[in-house]
Structure 1
Amino acid sequence: MILHIDMDAFFASVEQLDHPELRGKPLVVGGDSGRGVVAAASYEARRYGIHSAMPMFMAKQRCPQLEVVSSRKGRYGEVSRTVMAILNRYSPVVEQVSIDEAYLDASGCGRLHGPPTVMARAIKADIRESVSLTCSIGVAPLKFLAKIASDMNKPDGLTVIAPESVPEFIAGLPVEKVPGVGKQAFQQLKRMGILTLGDVETRKASSLVERLGKFGYRLADLAHGRDETSVCPHSPTKSISTEKTLSRDTRDREQLILHLLSQSEEVGRQLRRQGFLARTITLKLKNSDFRQITRSSTLDRPTHASETIYEAARTLLVRQTIDQSIRLIGVGASALIADTTPQQTSLFADTMVHSDDWGKVDQAIDRITERFGASAVCRGSLAETKD
């Protein structure tokens, strides 16, 4: 059996834990500027229809007495590490999929911790005692069903789907509840007269693939109770990125370039901290009409140098036509490899010297920021800028 553990309203719950005066009040975590968005909402706030990714101004319209607090990533990471350490005491096979959720394979753990349901109750009690927060757990023989089950009785829920109950559960499961079925896929399925996984089972896989692409094969398998995905501990990091919703839309390319500079430094810092080099740099833009644009560049040599990342992102921005105002900008790094991977020597010595020089600058800045914080040192071009 597989357990899916999902912390309840994690960011908001941590804030209410640390600030008792906020308990029981509608609260959101996110930017409080006119352009901010909700990163997380407490259950009290959700009663007003407030949810993550909602524009902050809209959340305040729905709940004028809404409490807004800024995100504290370091604190959330600290609590997350405690929770994941607890899970690893129950099974050697734990897959953390985000800061607040994880899968756990209970196979072979019965002699130590009892049946999966007993184990789940013990985990919930352990988490509550250690960090004073609640979680919801789904228990099922298939990974996708465990995730669905964890969301069925939130908050502080425990839902078990026994193996013998799987066919009946799948037959009546609304397709929009299936992980991977987004709004567009749901509309496609609805047009086909498919509303449940039971309906999917009656269709040929080829007809699903025609409408949904390769995901059609996946959906057909799930409808027949087949889920070959296993719990995979230590999933490798695939990308590192950062983005920012601007306080006001802009078409000022120089202003956008300044944002790229600070974001490239953050991405580079994360790459170096985690021991990665990146070969692909991606620029992300979102227009005032919410249309998203992404542009990528493949480097000659993998890097974790902030200057190299910035130059690649800046080049992508310079080449991009900006015919509408921009509301969001971001930088990402992907195609990651370990920084211990041997690299072919460049044929151009000047490039190597340039990269080495910037590498020394990055290392010096990293040492300063680790000791005094990220705001202790910055480039002169960023020193007087405010958004």
Structure 2
Amino acid sequence: MNFDFTAEENELKRRVAGVFTGEAVSEAQLMERASLEELKRTTGDFLRKLGEIGYLSLCLGPAQASESLKLLAAQEDVARISGSLFLSVETTARLFGGLVAGFGAHDQFSDLLALLAGGRIIAAVAVSEDERPDSGPGFSTVAWEDGESFIVSGTKPFVTNAPIADYIAVAASLDGKPAIFIVKPGDHAVVVGPRLETLGYNGLAVASLELREVRVPKEMVIGPLQNPTLIEFLRRTQDLLLTAASVGLMRRTLTESKKHADSHLRGGKPIFARQEIRFKIAEMLTLTQTAQLLCYRAAWMYSVSDAEAHAVLHCAKVFSAEASERVASMGVQILAGTGYVSGNPVEQAYRESKYAALAGTTTELARMSIAEELLKRHQV
């Protein structure tokens, strides 16, 4: 693995930096207190700007996995500025776009992909479901054929972007196999619930989704698929995005903590002069850079189709998720009373840091997966 950014990666990072000027950074950070109407407008504006620089066209689907590392170099910068904006943009581009570009026929979805690449739509992906005692394999959301279309019925409890989405990709069981159905929230049978109040990422619009026998034309259906590749792609992509979000959060927290330590005085000296503060910042930097390197290694391994990429991604996710909680906690400790007051970036990071351990592959399941991968490869 080459630790230097290529000229192409540096150019993408430069273009992303050009999108997030001083005024744009402030606008992205204001998303934490924005209404749904403001969120839709702001997210749409940033999507269009990112579409203009080619950011939304990269790494769409398994066939473009070779672009993983190139994209990550820029993704981390977006996540550092605003975790909420980052997750909203990536849900549209890499999750929804990856499904459509990676598993749908190009001629079938060419118009939709053009809208996506230009940043002219906001999209959501509805996969996770509540477990029930009678739940069997597959999804409890089901679909069946009805003439020239399909009928889809079911409920999804947590759908990122649902309240502001133009399109939603819904995972459901069709004849016992996974399939994706593209629906529009404007349909009266597609019921988006009220926006959920979450602990962190308050600039992210999340809601439940109910499908009341929604009729979906066949040209808006992907699958059914015979193998688990589609679901594996979604899980892998989400885990990599959450890992990048954690790294961005740690970088943001470290910057704010160092800034406070340099400017806040105790006994006539900046608190950075105190050894215990320096030790905390040194540990925060160590955790941040280790998580960053693990994240980059996971992306690189996917880009070269390494057999151990899956296990390393789970290593990166576990470490980054748990390290972000420690970094955020130390940041609050450094800021003391200021860090405990709602509305500052470190307090925000403290609330957001828990999400990565819960979303996607949980840290518990990731640890089990790592152990299983090791047992397969290294028989004892």
TM-score tier (shorter): under 0.3
Q: Which has the higher helix share?
A: 2
Q: Which has the higher contact order (CA 8 A, sep 6+)?
A: 2
Q: Which has the higher strand share?
A: 1
TM-score normalised to structure 2 length? 0.23
TM-score normalised to structure 1 length? 0.23
The structure with the largest alpha-carbon Rg is 1
